[in-house]
């Protein structure tokens, strides 16, 4: 597997790709140089703004639309603008993003623009009831919209098992159920949750929830949702084992049945992705740390075509 960075003048990661107005728009995080030592809480990923990129042809020129939202423009945020996503509804474009609030707890905010390339104006407060990281927005065929989120370790998902923030809580271990990603239906204006946050259940082929010690298959971070031929594909990173995997279901809120791997571990510690259809083909946008020669917090966005068998399983050529 060989793919060149789509962007090389700055470091980019966690690409969320969407087709808006006939063009592919990519909403990544923007890595920057820091002198913070690597640690499991991810303090070295100390990003302070978001850029938007677009292209009209896969493999063609990429336009950098510049910094469309900065940390100092978000009233409630203190640091760490991690992986974002975007959605279009009712003629407006919404950028969903995680950041630590003034008390150091990750929340998810939303910023709005009249055009897909920004700039975006942040709401004064995070989404009420939101927590953790890696928001993924999905607007279904009937116009219903959902937000998926969650990340373990530095993403603090393990701190919310009791629906209250417990900074001392630990990730589950052993043969019991794995910690599950979260989802909530979004309001009509995409600015709030329309209902309770709920866990997303991922099952094995026997209908049993994946266990906490099943590190090759259970959720860690980087949720993504796409729909193909009426099937909902929930894909994610296994985190500490570095696979991109996926599960399928017939409802956007699950349950989902594990189906297999999409991508093996890449150069660098993290892996994060999106999947989008464009001009009749399906593409996987992902990142690695090849541009920085393996420096984990300095990554680059790449893209490759993916394929589907008749039974709906994903494969690479």
- Supply the residues annotated as catalytic: 14, 221
Residue 89, classified by CB atoms within 10 Å of its CB into exposed (0-12), middle (13-18) or buried (19+), is middle
Take residue 148 and report the two structure tokens written for it. Answer: 């998926």
Q: Kindly tell me the sign of the dihedral angle through the C-alpha atoms of 311, 246, 20, 182.
A: positive
CB atoms within 10 A of CB 141: 7
Nearest to 260 by CA among 285, 283, 280, 236: 236
Q: Which residues of 103-122 are buried (b: 16+ CB within 10 A; e: fewer)?
A: eebbbbbbbbbeebbbbbeb
DSSP 153-173: GGG-GGGGTTSS--TT-----
Beta strands 300-308 and 281-288: pairing type? antiparallel
CB atoms within 10 A of CB 161: 15
């Amino acid at each position: 597997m060989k793919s060149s960075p789509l962007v090389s003048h700055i470091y980019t990661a966690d690409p969320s790709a969407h087709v808006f107005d006939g063009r592919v728009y990519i909403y990544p995080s923007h890595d920057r140089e820091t002198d913070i030592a690597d640690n499991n809480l991810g303090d070295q990923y100390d990003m302070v703004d978001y850029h938007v990129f677009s292209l009209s042809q896969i493999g063609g020129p990429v336009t950098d639309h510049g910094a469309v939202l900065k940390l100092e423009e978000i009233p409630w945020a203190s640091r760490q603008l991690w992986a974002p996503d975007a959605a279009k509804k009712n003629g407006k474009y919404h950028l969903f993003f995680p950041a630590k609030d003034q008390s150091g707890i990750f929340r998810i905010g939303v910023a709005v623009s009249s055009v897909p390339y920004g700039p975006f104006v942040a709401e004064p407060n995070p989404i009420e009831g939101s927590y953790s990281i890696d928001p993924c927005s999905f607007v279904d065929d009937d116009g219903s919209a959902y937000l998926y989120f969650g990340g373990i370790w530095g993403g603090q998902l393990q701190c919310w098992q009791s629906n209250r923030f417990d900074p001392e809580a630990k990730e589950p271990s052993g043969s019991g159920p794995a910690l599950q990603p979260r989802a909530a239906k979004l309001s009509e204006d995409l600015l709030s949750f329309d209902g309770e946050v709920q866990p997303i259940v991922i099952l094995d082929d026997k209908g049993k929830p994946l266990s906490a010690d099943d590190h090759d298959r259970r959720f860690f971070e980087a949720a993504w949702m796409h729909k193909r031929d009426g099937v909902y594909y929930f894909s994610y990173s296994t985190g500490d084992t570095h696979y991109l995997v996926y599960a399928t279901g017939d409802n956007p809120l699950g349950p989902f049945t594990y189906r297999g791997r999409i991508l093996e571990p890449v150069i660098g510690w993290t892996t994060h992705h999106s999947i989008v259809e464009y001009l009749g083909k399906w593409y996987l946008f992902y990142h690695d740390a090849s541009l920085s020669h393996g420096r984990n917090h300095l990554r680059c966005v790449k893209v490759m075509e993916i394929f589907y068998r008749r039974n709906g399983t994903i494969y690479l050529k």
